[in-house]
Amino acid sequence: MTRWLTRDEQRAWRAFLEVHRLLFERLDRQLAADSGLSHADYEILVRLSEADGRALRMSELADATLSSRSRLSHAVARLETQGWVVRRECPSDKRGTVAALTDAGFAALAAAAPGHVEAVRAALLDPLSPAQRDALGEISAALLAHLAHDGAGAGAGDPPPVVADP
């Protein structure tokens, strides 16, 4: 039997969808205008900047960014043409490939981060009270734990970063 959404559940669901769409549209616009990056490319640079040696196996990077291997490969190729990422053989497994953030890529991320942080603050955090920000964090953590447990999450249960502090 289908458990249809109640009026309040429907209102919450649709508000969530609209906020998600508008938030990421705004963040994508800001990143593109200020740094020429897409949000997906920014996330790749962030993940690499936070990794040991600023490098990750392509398969780990795909899992961390919830990207297909093919989509990630195309994104990394674009970042390589900018000189921001390089690919090399995995030293522990010659069949694997590692993506590494270059110094130029780190500089591009460092240049993009302040504007992105301000956009995140303006669009998501500043309109909320401290109690609402706490509630948002708790709700997000609960949903992430649930989705990651069901195999739909980022694997290790780490939330995708929104901002970087290079």
Per-domain residue ranges of the chain: 20-149
Residue 151 confidence (pLDDT): 58
Residue 131 confidence (pLDDT): 98
Q: pLDDT tens for residues 25-76?
A: 999 999 999 999 999 999 999 999 999 999 999 999 999 998 899 999 999 9
Contact (CB, 8 A) for 163 and 113:
yes
| CATH classification code of 20-149 | 1.10.10.10
Residue 72 confidence (pLDDT): 94
Q: At what angle do helices 39-50 and 69-81 cross, to 10 degrees?
A: 90
